[in-house]
Amino acid sequence: MTDIRIGTSGYDYLDWAGTFYPSELPRKQFLSYYSQQFDTLELNFTYYKMPTRKQLGLMASTTGKHMDFSIKANESMTHKVDYNIWESTVREFLTAIEPLRQDDRLSAVLFQFPYSFSYTIDNRRYLARLLSAMDNTPSVVEFRNAQWINQRVFNALKERNSGYCITDMPHLRGLPPSVDMVTAPVSYIRFHGRNEKNWWGSDAARRFDYLYSETELHSWVSRIRTLLTQSDKLRVFFNNHRKGQAAANAMMLKYLIMKSVISGEIGDEK
């Protein structure tokens, strides 16, 4: 069966204490505890601060061989790009993640572009050059602007062996629809919640304050079944991180997938 793993986007949240983490657990033990519950993690602190080899090597040794990582690209590559030095930034980033890559514990680098990253010739050229600069590192691209959702983009991602990030987010004008498209060996899904009211606000915590119901997640089971037949790996991450909701929903989806496997609804169909 395809290697499917489900986890959360980030783990170091103080408001998870008492919900996901035991209330008395020291913060320095959060990662170790997380690795006892999940076998994959999407690191998002790397977006705000450039990681180092030492830092990621320590995280790998803390969690053990059973867990792999996806790494969110630093904002200097997606949101605050200096077109004079971006190539050196990519090289610095690749150097930092090398310990995970060498240990075969890197599932993908996630390039999440903002809504303002529109479908222009300059942006298309930059994205093509960026993916080429990744030196065969598994990469996944998430668009927040619906203009990018077209066959030309999908074909370009396939040519570069780069993944397309499938998303679950509010159905709002301008945001991408949820399209099940596989463009690389690694398929990738991110659940952001469906908080339409607060999506465009400046408070990101409120934007991702959403708890999926079992019914909402069960509607994804058949979609995941199809993706599994088209992929070597499938990584699923929950970004609705407020109050431990991401961890709760990740566990819920793991249960639903396991239930489907037992019932024969999902199996080795490749």
pLDDT digits (tens, 9 = 90+) for 197-242: 989 877 777 889 999 999 999 999 999 999 999 999 999 999 999 9
Residue type, 7: G
Domains delineated in the chain: 3-263 (3.20.20.410)
The count of other CB atoms within 10 Å of the CB of residue 255 is: 13
Q: pLDDT class for 270, splitting at 50, 70, 90?
A: very low
For residue 260, the model assigns a pLDDT of 82
| Residue 263 clears pLDDT 70, i.e. is over it | no
| Residue 1 clears pLDDT 70, i.e. is over it | no
Please state, in angstroms and rounded to a whole number, the distance separating the CA atoms of residues 123 and 77: 12
Q: pLDDT class for 266, splitting at 50, 70, 90?
A: low
The helix (run of H) or strand (run of E) holding residue 207 is helix 204-207
For residue 205, the model assigns a pLDDT of 74
Question: Are the beta carbons of 239 and 11 closer than 8 angstroms?
Answer: no
Please state, in angstroms and rounded to a whole number, the distance separating the CA atoms of residues 128 and 148: 13
Question: Are the beta carbons of 188 and 165 closer than 8 angstroms?
Answer: yes
Q: Which two tokens stand for residue 148?
A: 């990018």
| Residue 269 clears pLDDT 60, i.e. is over it | no
> What single DSSP character describes residue 203?
-
Question: Are the beta carbons of 182 and 164 closer than 8 angstroms?
Answer: yes
For residue 267, the model assigns a pLDDT of 57
Question: Chain-wide mean pLDDT for the chain?
Answer: 94
Strand boundaries in 153-250, DSSP class E = 163-168, 186-191, 233-238
| Residue 133 clears pLDDT 90, i.e. is over it | yes
Beta bridge partners of 72: 110
Average pLDDT over residues 188-201: 93
Coil vs helix vs strand at 237: strand
Determine what percent of the chain is predicted with pLDDT higher than 70: 96
